[in-house]
Amino acid sequence: MIKGKQSIAFEVSPYLEESASVVGKKEGEGPLGGMFDMVAEEDLFGENTWEEAESTMQKEACLLALGKAHLAPESIRYLFGGDLLRQGVATSMGVETLQIPMFGLYGACSTSGEALALASMSVAAGYGERMLAVTSSHFGSAEKEFRFPLGYANQRPLSAHWTVTGSGAFIVGKNRSHVRITGVTVGKIVDYGLKDSQNMGACMAPAACDTILQNLMDFGRGEKDYDWIITGDLGYVGQSILFDLLRKKGLDIKENHMDCGMTIFDQQTQHTNSGGSGCGCAAKGRSPCAVWRRIWPRPKAALWKNRRKQHGKCERSEPAGPAEVERKHGPGGRKSVAQLPVPDAGTAAVCTDQSGRGKPVGGAAHPVEFVVKERRRAWRPKRKRKSWQRLRRRAAMTPAAWKTDSRWKRPWQGPVTAPARA
């Protein structure tokens, strides 16, 4: 359904079934380090060049997302992916082994939002059961293409961003989950004539302001109708400009705005100046795991999702045999241990617990250690039942009778005596 000038509202809303994130060492040391699925010890990911490393990140992100959703690559109808490199070479080389029909995208820092929008529209229109959206960026490859080669060791101004090394993959489908995509607002190009490539926040803030205003107008909502309004990589400079532009329009989103570029790094200790940027910045910040735990540090038990963590150095190698899987059934529940085979890339395995029930999981290109948590119903404490009849009886008694009434005494409190009458 068309809404306003630039928006679409889905009559049958698609869902974000699963997601996965792969980041470099610096990102793993930031405030969100414990929320990513894979953190590498070195940014080359076992490859020889930065470009090959970025391709490896995309492949690992796709395989992790498929594995967490217990899907094979053949169950994905189309893949929407892109990166910051010329001709989208990182995406082309990274997803080659998956053999999924692909749409190559280039939206710069908005590639993750663009891929999610197109995937959602395709699912809502009935063109496929599931779509895969993936994007990536790498500090070593993007900095030399858009700013200065790292070998120059040039001085970075305080307004400059730090390109995020990471990749994010999202599976959009019709199966119900805790993330529902109800609509899409497509932004326009808004150029205020800024020429400084080292100040991207000031360049992007006008377009962000226009898109937010158009979304509120198209859907007939106010800024207080949203719990959070999340931007990709405006940074500290761009956020202040965005607040000033919206304030002139009569809007104030200071209380419910979050920027991914400001949350992925620690500005004081990691010296990232204005914050993070790149395709991977918005993909990591929009990851449900990261956003959910940023907003609600202790999510409900019903929202627990299957997670995988890799420990140690990320290298390309042959599978090293089965890995031990710990399966926890609900908070404080019983645990079961299973053996999970680690297959080659592009294959699927079956994880079988002690009950003999098996679920297919995606493969990985290297030996990994898995920690799997099953999603179960939320634990609820037993309701304390109240007997209104007993409460009425007790209310009719005198305070002196409470201590002697047999209905309210415990066995260890001694014999019961009748209350004295006046």
Q: What is the pLDDT of residue 126?
A: 92
Q: How far apart are CA 124 and CA 17, in angstroms?
A: 14
Domains of the chain, CATH where assigned: 2-299 (3.40.47.40)
0.75 exceeded by the pTM?
no
Q: Please list the residues that pair with 336 across neighbouring strands.
A: 327
pLDDT digits (tens, 9 = 90+) for 196-244: 888 888 999 999 999 999 999 999 999 899 999 999 889 999 999 999 9
* Degrees to nearest 5, angle at CA 245 with 243 and 249: 105
Q: What is the pLDDT of residue 143?
A: 81
**The two three-digit tokens of residue 337, written as one number:** 């241990």
Q: What is the pLDDT of residue 371?
A: 40
In sequence order, what are the residues at sequence separation of 6 or more whose Cβ sits closer than 8 angstroms to the Cβ of residue 201?
Answer: 159, 161, 233, 234, 235, 236, 237, 238, 239, 241, 274, 275
Q: What is the pLDDT of residue 287?
A: 55
pLDDT digits (tens, 9 = 90+) for 59-96: 999 999 999 999 999 999 999 999 988 888 889 899 99
pLDDT digits (tens, 9 = 90+) for 176-203: 998 999 999 999 999 888 888 888 889 9
Query: Phi first, then psi: what are they for 337, rounded to 5°?
Result: -115, 135
Q: Do 175 and 17 contact (CB within 8 A), yes or no?
A: yes
Query: Phi first, then psi: what are they for 242, rounded to 5°?
Result: -60, -45
Q: What is the pLDDT of residue 21?
A: 92
Q: What is the DSSP string of 11-27?
A: SS--EEEEEEEEE-HHH
Q: What is the identity of the amino acid at 251?
A: L
Q: What is the pLDDT of residue 170?
A: 95
Q: What is the mean pLDDT of each run of 10 residues along the chain (422 residues)?
A: 91 93 91 88 88 91 93 94 88 91 90 93 94 92 77 80 91 93 93 86 92 94 91 91 93 92 89 87 62 39 34 36 43 43 37 37 37 47 53 56 50 48 52
Nearest to 179, CA basis, from 373, 18, 12, 1:
18
